[in-house]
Amino acid sequence: MKKHSMGVIIFGLAMVVPSLHALAGHWDHSDESQGWDGTLWANIPGEPSANQASMPLVFAECAIGSHQSPIVLNLTSNPIPIPINPKTQSPDNTPPAEPDRHANSLHVRYAPSISSTVGAAIASDKGNAYVFRNTGHAVQVSFSTGYPGRLLIGKDAYPLVQLHFHTPSEHIVVTDTSPAAKQYAGELHFVHQREDGRLAVLGIFLDDSQGATAENLILKKIIENTPLEHDAYNKSAAGLSLDPSKLIPVGNEQVLTYAGSLTTPPCSEGVSWYVLPEPLKVSPAQIQQLQAFFPTNSRIVQNTAARTVEIHKDLHVDHSQGHHIR
Protein backbone atom coordinates (compact mmCIF):
# COMPACT_ATOMS: atom_id res chain seq x y z
CA MET A 1 0.00 0.00 0.00
CA LYS A 2 1.47 3.28 -1.03
CA LYS A 3 1.62 6.00 1.54
CA HIS A 4 0.18 9.35 0.69
CA SER A 5 1.72 12.44 2.10
CA MET A 6 -0.05 15.67 1.65
CA GLY A 7 0.08 19.18 2.88
CA VAL A 8 -3.20 20.52 4.13
CA ILE A 9 -3.93 24.18 4.14
CA ILE A 10 -6.75 25.34 6.32
CA PHE A 11 -8.74 28.36 5.32
CA GLY A 12 -11.17 28.54 8.21
CA LEU A 13 -12.83 26.78 11.09
CA ALA A 14 -16.52 26.59 10.34
CA MET A 15 -18.51 23.38 10.67
CA VAL A 16 -19.65 20.99 7.99
CA VAL A 17 -22.86 21.57 6.14
CA PRO A 18 -22.70 19.32 3.12
CA SER A 19 -24.27 20.83 0.07
CA LEU A 20 -24.31 18.21 -2.63
CA HIS A 21 -26.69 18.78 -5.42
CA ALA A 22 -27.98 16.37 -7.99
CA LEU A 23 -26.07 16.62 -11.21
CA ALA A 24 -28.57 15.58 -13.80
CA GLY A 25 -27.74 13.78 -16.97
CA HIS A 26 -24.72 13.87 -19.19
CA TRP A 27 -23.22 17.27 -18.53
CA ASP A 28 -21.88 19.40 -21.30
CA HIS A 29 -21.21 23.10 -21.56
CA SER A 30 -24.14 23.43 -23.95
CA ASP A 31 -26.57 22.37 -21.24
CA GLU A 32 -25.65 25.25 -19.01
CA SER A 33 -25.91 28.00 -21.54
CA GLN A 34 -29.50 27.78 -22.68
CA GLY A 35 -30.82 31.19 -23.48
CA TRP A 36 -27.48 32.75 -22.77
CA ASP A 37 -25.16 34.57 -25.09
CA GLY A 38 -21.44 35.25 -24.97
CA THR A 39 -21.83 37.57 -21.97
CA LEU A 40 -22.66 34.58 -19.80
CA TRP A 41 -19.92 35.09 -17.23
CA ALA A 42 -20.72 38.74 -16.68
CA ASN A 43 -24.28 37.79 -15.86
CA ILE A 44 -23.84 35.34 -13.02
CA PRO A 45 -26.14 36.55 -10.25
CA GLY A 46 -24.55 38.21 -7.28
CA GLU A 47 -21.42 39.04 -9.17
CA PRO A 48 -20.31 42.41 -10.49
CA SER A 49 -22.05 42.86 -13.76
CA ALA A 50 -23.15 45.52 -16.13
CA ASN A 51 -26.32 43.66 -16.87
CA GLN A 52 -28.16 41.67 -14.23
CA ALA A 53 -31.49 41.71 -15.95
CA SER A 54 -33.49 38.55 -16.68
CA MET A 55 -31.66 36.21 -14.29
CA PRO A 56 -33.19 32.75 -14.48
CA LEU A 57 -33.96 31.31 -11.05
CA VAL A 58 -32.39 28.03 -12.09
CA PHE A 59 -28.98 29.66 -11.72
CA ALA A 60 -29.54 30.68 -8.10
CA GLU A 61 -26.79 28.36 -6.96
CA CYS A 62 -24.26 30.67 -8.62
CA ALA A 63 -25.28 33.27 -6.04
CA ILE A 64 -26.05 31.26 -2.92
CA GLY A 65 -23.68 28.30 -3.20
CA SER A 66 -20.93 28.10 -0.63
CA HIS A 67 -18.50 25.98 -2.62
CA GLN A 68 -18.16 27.88 -5.82
CA SER A 69 -15.27 27.87 -8.29
CA PRO A 70 -12.81 29.19 -9.22
CA ILE A 71 -10.88 30.20 -6.10
CA VAL A 72 -7.49 31.54 -5.10
CA LEU A 73 -5.30 28.50 -4.47
CA ASN A 74 -3.44 29.87 -1.47
CA LEU A 75 -0.42 27.68 -0.82
CA THR A 76 1.46 29.97 1.52
CA SER A 77 2.61 28.44 4.79
CA ASN A 78 0.39 30.77 6.80
CA PRO A 79 -2.65 31.28 4.62
CA ILE A 80 -5.42 33.65 5.50
CA PRO A 81 -8.84 33.54 3.90
CA ILE A 82 -9.13 35.82 0.91
CA PRO A 83 -12.75 36.94 0.70
CA ILE A 84 -12.60 38.09 -2.89
CA ASN A 85 -16.31 38.02 -3.46
CA PRO A 86 -18.07 37.90 -0.09
CA LYS A 87 -21.31 38.91 -1.73
CA THR A 88 -21.78 35.51 -3.26
CA GLN A 89 -21.30 33.13 -0.36
CA SER A 90 -21.94 32.83 3.32
CA PRO A 91 -18.76 31.97 5.24
CA ASP A 92 -20.23 29.37 7.59
CA ASN A 93 -19.92 26.36 5.37
CA THR A 94 -17.23 23.78 4.79
CA PRO A 95 -16.84 21.31 1.98
CA PRO A 96 -18.99 18.24 1.54
CA ALA A 97 -17.35 15.19 3.06
CA GLU A 98 -15.37 13.70 0.21
CA PRO A 99 -12.68 11.42 1.55
CA ASP A 100 -12.12 9.88 -1.87
CA ARG A 101 -11.10 13.15 -3.44
CA HIS A 102 -7.69 13.20 -1.80
CA ALA A 103 -7.27 9.85 -0.06
CA ASN A 104 -7.07 7.82 -3.23
CA SER A 105 -4.50 7.67 -5.96
CA LEU A 106 -5.21 9.76 -9.01
CA HIS A 107 -4.55 8.30 -12.42
CA VAL A 108 -5.01 10.19 -15.70
CA ARG A 109 -5.49 7.62 -18.42
CA TYR A 110 -6.35 9.29 -21.71
CA ALA A 111 -6.07 7.79 -25.17
CA PRO A 112 -5.74 9.08 -28.72
CA SER A 113 -9.04 9.67 -30.50
CA ILE A 114 -10.18 10.35 -34.08
CA SER A 115 -12.21 13.38 -35.12
CA SER A 116 -15.78 12.89 -36.27
CA THR A 117 -18.17 15.25 -38.02
CA VAL A 118 -21.41 14.05 -36.45
CA GLY A 119 -21.89 17.23 -34.42
CA ALA A 120 -24.16 16.91 -31.41
CA ALA A 121 -24.65 13.21 -32.13
CA ILE A 122 -21.18 12.66 -30.65
CA ALA A 123 -22.89 12.37 -27.26
CA SER A 124 -24.38 9.01 -28.27
CA ASP A 125 -21.53 7.78 -30.47
CA LYS A 126 -20.37 4.38 -29.18
CA GLY A 127 -17.04 4.56 -31.00
CA ASN A 128 -13.82 6.30 -29.96
CA ALA A 129 -14.33 9.75 -31.49
CA TYR A 130 -14.45 13.45 -30.79
CA VAL A 131 -15.70 16.67 -32.41
CA PHE A 132 -14.34 20.22 -32.53
CA ARG A 133 -16.90 22.60 -31.10
CA ASN A 134 -17.49 26.30 -30.51
CA THR A 135 -19.99 26.34 -27.63
CA GLY A 136 -20.64 30.07 -27.88
CA HIS A 137 -18.49 30.72 -24.85
CA ALA A 138 -15.53 28.37 -25.13
CA VAL A 139 -13.36 26.49 -27.60
CA GLN A 140 -14.14 22.87 -26.82
CA VAL A 141 -13.44 19.27 -27.82
CA SER A 142 -16.34 16.92 -27.02
CA PHE A 143 -15.74 13.18 -26.76
CA SER A 144 -18.03 10.28 -27.66
CA THR A 145 -19.50 7.96 -25.03
CA GLY A 146 -17.23 5.27 -26.49
CA TYR A 147 -14.07 7.27 -25.87
CA PRO A 148 -11.95 5.22 -23.45
CA GLY A 149 -10.06 8.11 -21.80
CA ARG A 150 -10.76 8.53 -18.10
CA LEU A 151 -9.62 9.86 -14.79
CA LEU A 152 -9.33 7.20 -12.10
CA ILE A 153 -9.88 8.41 -8.54
CA GLY A 154 -8.92 5.34 -6.60
CA LYS A 155 -10.92 2.66 -8.39
CA ASP A 156 -13.64 5.05 -9.53
CA ALA A 157 -13.65 5.76 -13.25
CA TYR A 158 -14.62 9.23 -14.44
CA PRO A 159 -14.79 9.17 -18.25
CA LEU A 160 -13.51 12.29 -20.05
CA VAL A 161 -16.53 14.07 -21.52
CA GLN A 162 -14.99 17.22 -22.94
CA LEU A 163 -12.15 19.69 -22.64
CA HIS A 164 -12.32 23.46 -23.11
CA PHE A 165 -10.28 26.62 -22.67
CA HIS A 166 -10.54 29.84 -20.68
CA THR A 167 -8.59 33.10 -21.05
CA PRO A 168 -7.25 34.31 -18.70
CA SER A 169 -6.89 31.53 -16.09
CA GLU A 170 -9.82 31.07 -13.71
CA HIS A 171 -7.84 29.84 -10.70
CA ILE A 172 -5.19 32.05 -9.18
CA VAL A 173 -2.16 30.77 -7.28
CA VAL A 174 -0.38 32.28 -4.29
CA THR A 175 2.74 30.64 -2.86
CA ASP A 176 5.52 31.53 -0.42
CA THR A 177 7.98 31.96 -3.27
CA SER A 178 5.59 34.08 -5.35
CA PRO A 179 3.31 35.80 -2.82
CA ALA A 180 1.76 38.00 -5.47
CA ALA A 181 -1.40 36.41 -6.84
CA LYS A 182 -0.50 34.73 -10.09
CA GLN A 183 -2.99 34.59 -12.91
CA TYR A 184 -1.90 32.70 -15.99
CA ALA A 185 -2.73 33.58 -19.58
CA GLY A 186 -5.21 30.75 -19.82
CA GLU A 187 -6.62 27.58 -18.29
CA LEU A 188 -7.63 24.27 -19.78
CA HIS A 189 -10.38 22.19 -18.17
CA PHE A 190 -10.74 18.46 -18.64
CA VAL A 191 -14.31 17.64 -17.58
CA HIS A 192 -14.98 14.09 -16.38
CA GLN A 193 -18.30 12.62 -15.39
CA ARG A 194 -18.94 9.41 -13.50
CA GLU A 195 -21.89 7.23 -14.40
CA ASP A 196 -23.98 8.62 -11.53
CA GLY A 197 -23.42 12.16 -12.78
CA ARG A 198 -20.72 13.22 -10.36
CA LEU A 199 -18.12 15.56 -11.87
CA ALA A 200 -14.36 15.83 -11.57
CA VAL A 201 -12.45 18.56 -13.39
CA LEU A 202 -8.71 18.61 -14.06
CA GLY A 203 -7.42 22.15 -14.56
CA ILE A 204 -4.18 22.96 -16.38
CA PHE A 205 -2.78 26.50 -16.48
CA LEU A 206 -1.56 27.85 -19.82
CA ASP A 207 1.71 29.78 -19.59
CA ASP A 208 2.70 31.92 -22.59
CA SER A 209 5.85 33.41 -21.06
CA GLN A 210 8.30 31.27 -23.04
CA GLY A 211 7.69 32.83 -26.45
CA ALA A 212 6.91 31.43 -29.86
CA THR A 213 8.95 28.24 -29.45
CA ALA A 214 6.50 27.05 -26.79
CA GLU A 215 3.76 26.48 -29.35
CA ASN A 216 1.73 23.38 -28.44
CA LEU A 217 0.84 21.27 -31.48
CA ILE A 218 -2.31 19.75 -30.00
CA LEU A 219 -3.67 23.17 -29.08
CA LYS A 220 -2.74 24.30 -32.61
CA LYS A 221 -4.82 21.49 -34.09
CA ILE A 222 -7.77 22.37 -31.86
CA ILE A 223 -7.65 26.11 -32.64
CA GLU A 224 -7.31 25.53 -36.38
CA ASN A 225 -10.32 23.23 -36.49
CA THR A 226 -12.75 24.98 -34.17
CA PRO A 227 -15.49 26.83 -36.07
CA LEU A 228 -15.56 30.60 -35.63
CA GLU A 229 -19.34 30.73 -35.44
CA HIS A 230 -20.96 30.21 -32.06
CA ASP A 231 -22.79 27.03 -31.07
CA ALA A 232 -21.31 25.16 -34.00
CA TYR A 233 -19.44 21.94 -34.72
CA ASN A 234 -16.76 21.29 -37.31
CA LYS A 235 -18.64 19.15 -39.85
CA SER A 236 -15.74 18.60 -42.23
CA ALA A 237 -12.59 17.79 -40.23
CA ALA A 238 -12.85 14.00 -40.23
CA GLY A 239 -10.14 11.53 -39.31
CA LEU A 240 -7.75 13.80 -37.38
CA SER A 241 -6.06 12.09 -34.48
CA LEU A 242 -5.84 13.90 -31.16
CA ASP A 243 -4.12 12.80 -27.98
CA PRO A 244 -5.37 14.83 -25.01
CA SER A 245 -2.59 13.52 -22.78
CA LYS A 246 -0.24 15.77 -24.76
CA LEU A 247 -2.01 18.74 -23.17
CA ILE A 248 -0.72 17.71 -19.75
CA PRO A 249 2.75 18.98 -18.86
CA VAL A 250 5.19 16.13 -18.31
CA GLY A 251 6.80 15.52 -14.94
CA ASN A 252 3.99 16.31 -12.54
CA GLU A 253 3.20 14.26 -9.56
CA GLN A 254 1.51 16.91 -7.48
CA VAL A 255 -1.94 18.31 -7.93
CA LEU A 256 -4.00 20.75 -5.88
CA THR A 257 -7.46 19.55 -4.95
CA TYR A 258 -10.54 21.14 -3.41
CA ALA A 259 -14.33 20.89 -3.46
CA GLY A 260 -15.92 23.33 -5.88
CA SER A 261 -18.44 23.90 -8.60
CA LEU A 262 -18.88 24.40 -12.28
CA THR A 263 -17.62 27.88 -13.17
CA THR A 264 -20.51 28.52 -15.54
CA PRO A 265 -24.26 28.39 -14.83
CA PRO A 266 -25.84 26.33 -13.35
CA CYS A 267 -22.73 26.50 -11.10
CA SER A 268 -23.56 23.04 -9.71
CA GLU A 269 -21.55 22.09 -6.63
CA GLY A 270 -20.14 18.72 -5.65
CA VAL A 271 -17.40 19.03 -8.26
CA SER A 272 -14.02 17.58 -7.32
CA TRP A 273 -11.37 19.94 -8.59
CA TYR A 274 -7.79 18.97 -9.38
CA VAL A 275 -5.49 21.74 -10.56
CA LEU A 276 -1.90 21.13 -11.61
CA PRO A 277 0.52 23.71 -10.18
CA GLU A 278 2.84 23.16 -13.16
CA PRO A 279 1.53 25.02 -16.25
CA LEU A 280 1.44 23.88 -19.85
CA LYS A 281 3.65 26.05 -22.02
CA VAL A 282 1.97 27.56 -25.05
CA SER A 283 2.96 30.43 -27.33
CA PRO A 284 1.68 34.02 -26.96
CA ALA A 285 0.18 33.69 -30.44
CA GLN A 286 -1.91 30.73 -29.28
CA ILE A 287 -3.30 32.74 -26.39
CA GLN A 288 -4.18 35.50 -28.85
CA GLN A 289 -5.90 32.96 -31.08
CA LEU A 290 -8.00 31.74 -28.14
CA GLN A 291 -8.81 35.36 -27.29
CA ALA A 292 -9.91 35.91 -30.86
CA PHE A 293 -12.70 33.41 -30.17
CA PHE A 294 -13.57 34.80 -26.72
CA PRO A 295 -11.54 37.72 -25.34
CA THR A 296 -12.44 36.93 -21.72
CA ASN A 297 -14.38 33.85 -20.72
CA SER A 298 -13.29 33.33 -17.14
CA ARG A 299 -15.36 33.64 -14.03
CA ILE A 300 -13.97 35.82 -11.23
CA VAL A 301 -12.59 34.03 -8.14
CA GLN A 302 -15.08 33.10 -5.45
CA ASN A 303 -14.94 33.14 -1.66
CA THR A 304 -12.96 30.18 -0.36
CA ALA A 305 -15.05 30.29 2.83
CA ALA A 306 -13.88 27.44 5.07
CA ARG A 307 -12.63 25.21 2.34
CA THR A 308 -9.25 23.56 2.31
CA VAL A 309 -6.92 23.19 -0.62
CA GLU A 310 -4.87 20.04 -0.38
CA ILE A 311 -1.71 19.03 -2.17
CA HIS A 312 -2.21 15.56 -3.56
CA LYS A 313 1.12 13.86 -4.20
CA ASP A 314 0.07 10.65 -5.85
CA LEU A 315 -0.75 11.74 -9.39
CA HIS A 316 0.02 9.43 -12.29
CA VAL A 317 -0.35 10.47 -15.90
CA ASP A 318 -0.21 7.93 -18.72
CA HIS A 319 1.42 9.61 -21.66
CA SER A 320 0.68 7.68 -24.81
CA GLN A 321 4.29 7.31 -25.89
CA GLY A 322 4.52 4.43 -23.50
CA HIS A 323 6.27 5.91 -20.48
CA HIS A 324 4.55 6.57 -17.20
CA ILE A 325 5.15 9.72 -15.27
CA ARG A 326 5.49 9.13 -11.58
Which of 188-196, 248-256, 289-297, 316-324 is the region at the interface with Zn ion (rule: CB under 5 A)? 188-196
29 binds Zn ion (CB under 5 A): no
Sign of CA dihedral 291, 296, 299, 300: positive
How many other C-beta atoms lie within 10 A of the C-beta of residue 86? Answer: 12
Count of residues of this chain found to bind Zn ion when the rule CB under 5 A is applied: 1
Q: How far is the CB of 103 from Zn ion (least distance, A)?
A: 25
Which of 19-27, 183-191, 192-200, 283-291 is the region at the interface with Zn ion (rule: CB under 5 A)? 183-191
Q: How far is the CB of 277 from Zn ion (least distance, A)?
A: 18
Which of 44-52, 181-189, 224-232, 242-250 is the region at the interface with Zn ion (rule: CB under 5 A)? 181-189
Residue number, 94 or 133, with CB nearest to Zn ion: 133
Q: How far is the CB of 166 from Zn ion (least distance, A)?
A: 5
Residue number, 150 or 189, with CB nearest to Zn ion: 189
Indicate which single residue of 102, 133, 189, 221 sits in contact with Zn ion (rule: CB under 5 A).
189
Residue number, 135 or 245, with CB nearest to Zn ion: 135
Residue number, 101 or 189, with CB nearest to Zn ion: 189
Residue number, 67 or 189, with CB nearest to Zn ion: 189
Q: How far is the CB of 212 from Zn ion (least distance, A)?
A: 26
Q: How far is the CB of 193 from Zn ion (least distance, A)?
A: 14
Shortest-Cβ-distance residue relative to Zn ion: 189
Q: How far is the CB of 265 from Zn ion (least distance, A)?
A: 12
192 binds Zn ion (CB under 5 A): no
What is the C-alpha to C-alpha distance for residues 316 and 142, in angstroms, rounded to an integer?
23
Residue number, 189 or 307, with CB nearest to Zn ion: 189
Could you give phi then psi for residue 273, rounded to 5 degrees? -100, 140
Which residues lie near Zn ion (CB under 5 A)? 189
